[in-house]
Amino acid sequence: MQYLPKVAVIFLAIFFSSAVFSAGSAPDFELEGLNGKVKLSDYKGKVVYLDFWASWCGPCRKSFPWLNDMQTRLKKKGFRVVAVNLDTKRADADKFLSELKPNFDIAFDPPGDVAGMYELQGMPSAYLIDRNGELHSVHMGFRDKDIPLLEREIEALLNRSKKMK
């Protein structure tokens, strides 16, 4: 997968913040993680905030404290953050992680295969997935003003019945 230049990614992240994603199952994947394998299908029954990030991404750095807070507050309700790193050098990701200390699952996708499956358009990008593994929405970029919308969407999905099918 060929990545957009950083300037283009930042431009896209600034001007596009969220949109409803076409209905369908979230593409499953299995990646190496900080604590073993991370497989999306293992989260079925949970509401998943699938976040794609890189160490060089300023909005990514800004989003991690909020992601930590959401994971802490909503874990008991069945919410999980899964953050997929796209750095080509693991040392860059490790430095970022040592500074921000995430309390959620981290996976590594240096070749960008999973990012390609999700047709990633900018960084950060997050995909909200319901308890049945269905894509609900996609959010590009991260801005403080988007937090209330994100939290309402997450809460709405958490408040739906555990199994809809």
15-64 confidence digits (pLDDT tens): 333 333 455 899 999 999 998 999 999 999 999 999 999 999 999 999 99
For position 24, what pLDDT does the model report?
A: 83
Using a 10 angstrom Cβ sphere, with 0-12 exposed, 13-18 middle and 19 or more buried, the burial of residue 26 is buried
Q: What is the pTM for the complete model shown?
A: 0.84
Q: Does domain 6-159 have CATH number 3.40.30.10?
A: yes
CA 102, 114, 17, 55 torsion-angle sign: positive
How far is 97 from 120, CA to CA, in rounded Å?
A: 22
**What does the pLDDT look like over 60-81, one tens digit per residue?**
999 999 999 999 999 999 999 9
List pLDDT tens digits, range 106-154: 999 999 999 999 999 999 999 999 999 999 999 999 999 999 999 999 9
